């Protein structure tokens, strides 16, 4: 087989391990260079990303660059429009082939189509691979060849496909080999890049990633439980499994004061670890026990991976979800959208302790426990009567693991506007606090001015004016507001 000079374009796959497209590129190329493009449309701090996510991205890219150098090649970081830059780079280094792993967001699909067409006109070959999901979305269809709209049936189909394709010996999914030794560019080709007008970054040789991403803007890295880079992602997975945390996940996953989740959400979103490696890690743990409780806990965690793919499939099959509700009747809902209430919610100053603790955790660390995400989302929509799309955007501008499919799916679930058969699900924040933070540890951690309040009063929100200090009174009555919500909802049934 004739081998060509090639480019591998990293996107949501910032790793060498189990990177399908990268391994295929390394196997079939006589020389290979990597590239990552800082796409302004995906790095808009007002719409599509956060300071925390930019920090995670930047640190992951720094490690990835070093891993390319260790293997004998380079990873270039370019800043600008990928449609122009990928083509320009290919011309500069005389690349005949460009490889990448497919993405699933509407903008990315359209962008990649334009790039592929441009490269084809230039007589270059494009090779793309499905790497971001465990199961190919085209294989998850109903008997009528339609996409699933409810999680339960989707999960059963998803796990059936996995069970029929995994190894009969160890129950593991096949993963890709890791590219080990690469042949990079020669001096003439490197010189052509250095002398070009590409806005680029090479480790220790030019404009830094910190400069391009303004990484110094996120200062609370020690509070963020999601750790950037491929090596840290592997450590976090191993810790989650080998410490036995995964074995108690079924019960402990809903307790926000405990460190009982994997914290791999950002790693999966930006691909510093692969979904197949993560699934296999859980399966290895499952293979090692006969304890039914542990097996159920591991299965519960695996179902969370299925939720991730359910929302990704939903966005692939219904790209209009990005812009509005799946259930169109919600377009007629009379949102109140009070700016002062929205500001109080975002700042953690609603006077409802569990809500404020969660929002302060997000503000300080760039991350929020999943149970709390559901509580604060329900509160924004069904207590404050604020359009869920405002909350969705706020999360994308705040979360280290902000991911369009997962974030949109979660908000539509909470708002009852998505693919969900329970439209009147309303979370009572006080009951949620009593059930999942029964000793008040989580609230006290993030609202220290309430540390002296008795646990019953802390959870119920019944705090006297004398005890409040600077903490605000509740901005609404949960009972009154949910009554108003139900009345407004009755108008769109």
pLDDT digits (tens, 9 = 90+) for 433-479: 999 999 999 999 999 999 999 999 999 999 999 999 899 999 999 99
Structure confidence at residue 205 (pLDDT): 47
Across the range 239-252, mean pLDDT stands at: 95
Q: How many CA atoms lie within 13 A of 423 on its CB side?
A: 13
In this structure, are 291 and 395 located in the same domain?
Answer: no
Last residue of a domain, one of 132, 164, 197: 132
In this structure, are 126 and 238 located in the same domain?
Answer: no
Nearest alpha-carbon partner for 373 in 335, 340, 403: 403
Number of domains in the chain: 3
CB contact set of 406 (below 8 Å; sequence gap of 6+): 265, 269, 308, 311, 312
In this structure, are 166 and 259 located in the same domain?
Answer: yes
In this structure, are 242 and 341 located in the same domain?
Answer: no
Q: How would DSSP label each residue in 245-288?
A: GGGGHHHHTT-TTS--S---HHHHHHTSS-HHHHHHHHHHHHHT
CB 122 within 8 A of CB 44: no
pLDDT digits (tens, 9 = 90+) for 402-414: 999 999 999 999 9
Tokens 């999966």 appear where? 268
Structure confidence at residue 328 (pLDDT): 93
- Is residue 2 scored above 60 in pLDDT? no
CATH of the domain at 89: 3.40.50.620
CB 246 within 8 A of CB 295: no
* Exposure class string for 275-287: b at 16+ Cβ within 10 A, else e: bbbbbbbbbebbe
Last residue of a domain, one of 317, 341, 364: 317
pLDDT digits (tens, 9 = 90+) for 182-233: 988 777 777 777 777 776 666 544 457 777 666 667 888 999 999 999 999 9
Domain of 484?
Answer: 328-490
- Active-site residue set: 304, 307, 335, 370, 388, 411
Q: Is residue 156 part of a domain?
A: yes
Mean pLDDT of the chain: 94
pLDDT digits (tens, 9 = 90+) for 264-311: 999 999 999 999 999 999 999 999 999 999 999 999 999 999 999 999
For helices 388-396 and 404-415, give the axis angle rounded to 10 degrees.
150
**Where residue 179 falls among pLDDT bands split at 50, 70, 90?**
very high
Q: Is residue 1 part of a domain?
A: yes
In this structure, are 423 and 480 located in the same domain?
Answer: yes
**Where residue 424 falls among pLDDT bands split at 50, 70, 90?**
confident
Q: Model's pTM, two decimal places?
A: 0.95
In this structure, are 302 and 355 located in the same domain?
Answer: no
Structure confidence at residue 195 (pLDDT): 74
Q: Is residue 201 part of a domain?
A: no
For helices 82-92 and 106-121, give the axis angle rounded to 10 degrees.
30
CATH of the domain at 426: 1.10.579.10
- Is residue 4 scored above 70 in pLDDT? no
The continuous run of DSSP H or E covering 32 comes out as: strand 29-38
Structure confidence at residue 200 (pLDDT): 66
Q: Is residue 362 part of a domain?
A: yes
Structure confidence at residue 139 (pLDDT): 97
Structure confidence at residue 3 (pLDDT): 61
d(CA 163, CA 302): 13
Across the range 337-354, mean pLDDT stands at: 99
Q: Is residue 222 part of a domain?
A: no
Distances (CA, A) of 198 to 82, 85, 123: 11, 8, 22
How big is the CA angle at 356 (ends 339 and 422), to the nearest 5 degrees?
80
In this structure, are 411 and 471 located in the same domain?
Answer: yes
* Exposure class string for 224-260: b at 16+ Cβ within 10 A, else e: bbbbbbbebbbebbeebbeeebbbebbeebbbbbeeb
Q: Which residue has the higher pLDDT, 2 or 94?
A: 94
Last residue of a domain, one of 101, 132, 163: 132
In this structure, are 372 and 444 located in the same domain?
Answer: yes
Structure confidence at residue 218 (pLDDT): 83
Question: What six digits make up the tokens of 293?
Answer: 């409780």
Q: Is residue 143 part of a domain?
A: no
In this structure, are 299 and 436 located in the same domain?
Answer: no
In this structure, are 395 and 340 located in the same domain?
Answer: yes
Nearest alpha-carbon partner for 403 in 310, 312, 278: 312
**Where residue 1 falls among pLDDT bands split at 50, 70, 90?**
very low
- Is residue 36 scored above 90 in pLDDT? yes
Structure confidence at residue 275 (pLDDT): 98
Question: What six digits make up the tokens of 335?
Answer: 């949102």
CATH of the domain at 261: 1.25.40.80
In this structure, are 300 and 355 located in the same domain?
Answer: no
Q: Is residue 224 part of a domain?
A: no
In this structure, are 457 and 313 located in the same domain?
Answer: no
């Amino acid at each position: 087989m004739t081998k060509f000079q090639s480019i591998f374009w990293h996107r949501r796959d910032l790793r060498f391990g189990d990177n399908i497209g990268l391994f295929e590129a390394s196997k079939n190329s006589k020389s290979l260079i990597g590239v990552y493009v800082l796409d302004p449309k995906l790095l808009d701090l007002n719409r599509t990303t956060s300071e925390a996510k930019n920090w995670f991205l930047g640190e992951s890219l720094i490690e990835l660059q070093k891993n390319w150098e260790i293997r004998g090649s380079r990873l270039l970081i370019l800043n600008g429009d990928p449609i122009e830059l990928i083509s320009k780079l290919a011309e500069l280094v005389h690349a005949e082939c460009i490889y990448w792993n497919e993405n699933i967001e509407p903008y990315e699909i359209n962008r990649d189509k334009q790039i592929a067409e441009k490269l084809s006109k230039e007589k270059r070959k494009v090779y793309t691979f499905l790497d971001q999901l465990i199961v190919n979305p085209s294989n998850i269809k109903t008997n009528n060849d339609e996409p699933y709209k409810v999680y339960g049936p989707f999960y059963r189909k998803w796990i059936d496909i996995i069970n029929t394709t995994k190894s009969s010996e160890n129950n593991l999914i096949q993963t890709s080999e890791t590219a080990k030794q690469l042949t990079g560019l020669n001096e003439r080709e490197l010189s052509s890049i250095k002398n070009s007008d590409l806005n680029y970054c090479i480790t220790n040789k030019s404009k830094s990633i910190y400069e391009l991403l303004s990484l110094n803007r996120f200062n609370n890295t020690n509070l963020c439980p999601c750790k950037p880079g491929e090596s840290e992602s592997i450590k976090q997975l191993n810790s989650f499994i080998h410490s036995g945390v995964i074995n108690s996940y079924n019960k402990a996953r809903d307790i926000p004061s405990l460190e009982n989740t994997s914290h791999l959400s950002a790693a999966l979103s930006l691909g510093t670890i692969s979904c197949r490696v993560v699934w296999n890690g859980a399966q290895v743990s499952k293979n090692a026990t006969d304890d039914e409780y542990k097996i159920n806990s591991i299965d519960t965690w695996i179902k969370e991976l299925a939720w991730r793919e359910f929302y990704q499939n939903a966005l692939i099959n219904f790209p209009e979800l990005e812009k509005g509700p799946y259930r169109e009747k919600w377009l007629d809902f009379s949102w109140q959208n009070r700016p002062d209430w929205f500001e109080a919610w975002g700042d953690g100053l609603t006077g409802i302790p569990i809500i404020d603790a969660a929002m302060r955790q997000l503000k300080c660390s760039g991350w929020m426990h999943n149970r709390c995400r559901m509580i604060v989302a329900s509160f924004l929509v069904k207590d404050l009567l604020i359009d869920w799309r405002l909350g969705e955007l706020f999360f994308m501008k705040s979360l280290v693991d902000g991911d369009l499919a997962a974030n949109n799916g979660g908000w539509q679930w909470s708002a009852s506007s998505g693919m969900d058969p329970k439209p009147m699900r309303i979370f009572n924040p006080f009951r949620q606090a009593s059930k999942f933070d029964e000793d008040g540890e989580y609230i006290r951690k993030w609202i220290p001015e309430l540390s002296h309040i008795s646990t019953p009063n802390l959870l119920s929100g019944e705090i006297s004016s004398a005890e409040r200090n600077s903490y605000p009174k509740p901005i609404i009555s949960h009972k009154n507001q949910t009554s108003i919500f139900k009345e407004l909802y009755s108008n769109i049934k």
